[in-house]
Structure 1
């Protein structure tokens, strides 16, 4: 098998073999690299006064990483700017929050050039190159311009927006043309792939023939490859001493109440405001159940230098305070809202102690929290997954209780349904869910994509 070069915006440098509180993508990529061997390249998260291109290497937990530092201007324009004020909201259907600035676009192009220049000497002749996510869409084209003829794949971890939204981006044609520098382009779901097909056929005069997509004389393979988790590792984490301690803490703090839990980055795409309002509606509609449930929302802050995210935090602080002020009693707080992250083992214990998980994003590429919750459950007495129909995971996890997160009434009804669900039904739903999570895990996802990338079909030569 060819060596694998993974390139992403950020690189999670493993420390002591522990995953810590890394996100799902970091855990998934580390698992893929341990399985296939290779190198993970990207931004270190640190800044320098002037870009040097110096590479910091690190080896640990079976993963070799190579990182570079960026200038403050790069971060402002490329990361906080084009990536997170332009592409992120646009790709999550929030055109009302999308900012179009020429400086942002210039910084995005400049950093992709810097990535290409710096990683170029690290790419061996037989290596497979796997580029990840919306930060680096142009990178394949930049590498081709520098003479790289290797097989290069791209995987998008967000939704792909409908054509009518994407065309609001001034450089939309150039952005999509960049994808045709890759050999394989992967999406989480058939919905996102269909949106890509529609743009290519309606805006570029391209054609679609099975997985082969052709435009402007170039053919690529575009596939559906829903990402999974390292299920076996997560199931083991749920049995760890750290998980048992976290579970005991939750049981003591809940004092016999049914625990409802949500775990999300602090982001408007996660539907946290709508979730709080749904829980508020549950309390309003079912006064007999007040004091019998406890809702824990864990929401570590992200992108704190972006004004929109500061506004989200302020809004949720006020809303949770308002709900607690209206419904709390001397011995009960309806919502516990925590702005910090927890290691995976502790989260696994929290998940196992929960009767219900609310995973209700307004729009999500996949959502690995849903899969982690399922993997963490007690096989003899599992909790219930309440999942947004707008999460990519909903297409795989049809045995969850599926809800429209925009409807507070539907959210409230789903909580009641989950609380009242008989053990037999909880077991039936969980068994179907865990079979899928085990079968389509991170290794399956990695193999599916890399098999496509390694395949040299006549259409792609």
Structure 2
């Protein structure tokens, strides 16, 4: 028999005419929005409250979906008939169960997920516990989820994988369905690379996540940490939030999760909330309320918060008898020893505070250790004068946003720990260091003494953000970006062989005006250990001269090299020259022309930084150009060079802000150049000048993607070597490209004149 109040009832998603012809959204998370329990011998289904389930509810009303997850009971606790029954009931609610044995679930969930990943990602490395058995269980569980998803997905579906329990899943899905649109969102912090280095199986986990098309985090700091770890530990380059794998790219970005603003803002009109608020007032009387709401967890800083409140009562005795702390702690993971010990510590601290400061008519700390209904929670938010939200580390913290949304009256103060993910958004809060008891105590005093006019001003800074970027906006934003990332991934350059090569040669033969745009390093020649050692060989110079010798063909060398180098190397070939990634252009027979009027005053600040990194990193050097400064690490030890490049980029991005320059990463080089200068701008200028009916462009790294973007859709763009690209075609090496160019010369009836 099935009992319980389940929101995902039969047929809830059947009337979706607006979504006709659109693939389903397949959500994958550890838990389903409906969990099964056994009560008095009966299977009972209970709707999950809060979290992801409630956050996505409004989205799922408008879109066909399938939710894949663990149903709440292990296979050991279900007979075959009961498993069939659970699967059938869930299917009618657009859910698909992943059945795991008790030992599998314990090893995967309690062992690796919450014994290793949870503490490490929250910077509690001392609590980490790793075992090979737990890792194997984690792998098996992710494989079970992968089988369930791959058995269910249909063409056009979008898969959205959630959280740290399933970090291997995106790559498993990619291996089984290469064209599948896959997103991954991590709801907890992603720590710095120094902590990720402590993680056994770190490479497998990072590669697992990189199976997705889009990887999302709550805040940009986590994005930065992930990109840094991906580069250092897997060797994958990244640029402007995109990780470059061998055949595709992965977009990585921040999507700060929101809440259902209307539900909290309008809760005061509900009779149940008004009744709960009256009960709260009857309990505390005229005392002002400091509110703390958290799940039981060592990351929430509950003992530290109590210690700060105790210090507040000592330092500001005038508030004794006039202010109370209402501390709501929702039970969590009570079977784990560390959580039971934390509960005992909290109990003892509250007992000590109440015993030391309390009186017959005043209880300093009102302790609620239980789950609460929405009306009770809404009443607490509305009745509090101050919300004290000071986690030691938190991915986002929606409690802070729920409090802001609930303050429809315009009064109330939020005291927020600066390491909570929400701190960057909620700029009207009083920011505190959660480890600094004195600072937290002082902030409480400031909050309680704050004039109502300032309270209103601060809330007015936060409420519009919380309202406009709610949970529906968050989900829609992520899915829109996922769609965009999937479209970009679905484009793969075709290898330029056979029929494709023959068509290009035929197009070349027919064209009356041709423009050939060629990068140099890595495209026409191999990379050298030092930039000055990559001088063109005589065969290449002859090829370029012959290629551009006819009236129908104009050849352009479009390089990051300085113009003096291009003049010396290619001046006799008759080619047009583009230097410094588009900073300078020289048309055959004319002088050099700059593409920017901006100065280079920024070099004074940037040069010492690059020189410092060159001095500290063997095998690296600084190259000064007229419009750019470049730090080359081609000869550095690979891992050290990658680590320093990642660190340097972060320093330079901050340094470049407001200085009319930008940071660009190339193949084993980090360059700072004038803003707005790129190969694409130069390519567009030359295309407008020559008006060719055939454009052929070839390049090997990310700076050449700007050139490819400038080429008309019917142009012939060629990526040299591996890596994702917007180019139409790919050749394996510069030798293959040179062979193609020689073939074009040999097939050309106009290369003599």
TM over 0.5, shorter chain: yes
2:338 to 292, 308, 324: 308
| Counterpart in the other structure of 1:36 | 63
Report the Cα offset of residue 147 of structure 1.
3.1
Q: Which has the larger radius of gyration?
A: 2
| Counterpart in the other structure of 2:412 | 383
Report the Cα offset of residue 34 of structure 1.
2.3
For the residues of structure 2 that align with 1:144 and 1:339, how far apart are their CA atoms? 43
Kept in 2, the 8 Å contact 1:351–1:377? The answer is yes
| Counterpart in the other structure of 2:87 | 56
| Counterpart in the other structure of 2:467 | 438
TM-score by length of 1: 0.94
1:200 to 219, 227, 230: 230
Report the Cα offset of residue 30 of structure 1.
2.3
For the residues of structure 1 that align with 2:114 and 2:100, how far apart are their CA atoms? 16
Q: Deviations over 1:376-431 (max 9, x none)?
A: 11324x21111110100001111111111101101101111110111111111112
| Counterpart in the other structure of 2:195 | 165
For the residues of structure 2 that align with 1:183 and 1:196, how far apart are their CA atoms? 15
| Counterpart in the other structure of 1:419 | 448
Q: Structure 1 stretch 329-338 or stretch 82-91: which is displaced more?
A: 329-338
Off by >3 Å, runs of 4+ in structure 1: 50-55, 57-60, 215-218, 456-461
Kept in 2, the 8 Å contact 1:5–1:38? The answer is yes
Report the Cα offset of residue 57 of structure 1.
5.0
Residues 35/433 of structure 1: CA separation in 2 closer, same or farther (3 Å cut): farther
> How many residue pairs were aligned?
456
| Counterpart in the other structure of 2:32 | 11
For the residues of structure 2 that align with 1:385 and 1:58, how far apart are their CA atoms? 43
| Counterpart in the other structure of 2:424 | 395
Kept in 2, the 8 Å contact 1:3–1:126? The answer is yes
For the residues of structure 2 that align with 1:359 and 1:457, how far apart are their CA atoms? 40
Report the Cα offset of residue 459 of structure 1.
5.5
Q: Structure 1 stretch 236-245 or stretch 129-138: which is displaced more?
A: 236-245
- Where 1:324 maps in the other structure, the secondary structure is helix
Report the Cα offset of residue 146 of structure 1.
2.7
- Where 1:249 maps in the other structure, the secondary structure is helix
Q: Deviations over 1:69-94 (max 9, x none)?
A: 42110221011111101000000000
Report the Cα offset of residue 232 of structure 1.
1.4
Q: Deviations over 1:20-52 (max 9, x none)?
A: 882332211223322433122211111221897
Instruction: Could you tell me which runs of 5 or more consecutive residues in structure 2 were left unpaired when the two chains were aligned.
Output: 1-21, 37-45, 492-753
Kept in 2, the 8 Å contact 1:33–1:39? The answer is no
Report the Cα offset of residue 64 of structure 1.
3.1
Kept in 2, the 8 Å contact 1:30–1:63? The answer is no
For the residues of structure 1 that align with 2:327 and 2:54, how far apart are their CA atoms? 22
TM-score by length of 2: 0.58
Report the Cα offset of residue 192 of structure 1.
0.3
Q: Structure 1 stretch 249-258 or stretch 116-125: which is displaced more?
A: 116-125
For the residues of structure 2 that align with 1:436 and 1:228, how far apart are their CA atoms? 9
RMSD: 2.1
- Where 1:250 maps in the other structure, the secondary structure is helix
| Counterpart in the other structure of 2:126 | 96
For the residues of structure 2 that align with 1:41 and 1:376, how far apart are their CA atoms? 33
Residues 203/118 of structure 1: CA separation in 2 closer, same or farther (3 Å cut): closer
Kept in 1, the 8 Å contact 2:299–2:392? The answer is yes
Q: Deviations over 1:178-214 (max 9, x none)?
A: 1121100001000000101111222333222222112
For the residues of structure 2 that align with 1:215 and 1:38, how far apart are their CA atoms? 30
For the residues of structure 1 that align with 2:124 and 2:490, how far apart are their CA atoms? 34
For the residues of structure 1 that align with 2:267 and 2:90, how far apart are their CA atoms? 23
Report the Cα offset of residue 14 of structure 1.
9.1
For the residues of structure 2 that align with 1:37 and 1:359, how far apart are their CA atoms? 37
For the residues of structure 1 that align with 2:393 and 2:49, how far apart are their CA atoms? 21
| Counterpart in the other structure of 2:567 | none
1:47 to 68, 74, 87: 74
Q: Structure 1 stretch 20-29 or stretch 225-234: which is displaced more?
A: 20-29
Structure with the bigger RCO (C-alpha within 8 Å, sep 6+) is: 1
Report the Cα offset of residue 119 of structure 1.
2.7
Kept in 2, the 8 Å contact 1:243–1:350? The answer is no
Instruction: Could you tell me which runs of 5 or more consecutive residues in structure 1 were left unpaired when the two chains were aligned.
Output: none
Kept in 2, the 8 Å contact 1:38–1:63? The answer is no
| Counterpart in the other structure of 1:373 | 403
Kept in 2, the 8 Å contact 1:20–1:344? The answer is no
Kept in 1, the 8 Å contact 2:327–2:366? The answer is yes
For the residues of structure 1 that align with 2:53 and 2:294, how far apart are their CA atoms? 15
1:291-306 → structure 2 map (5 Å cutoff): 291-306=321-336
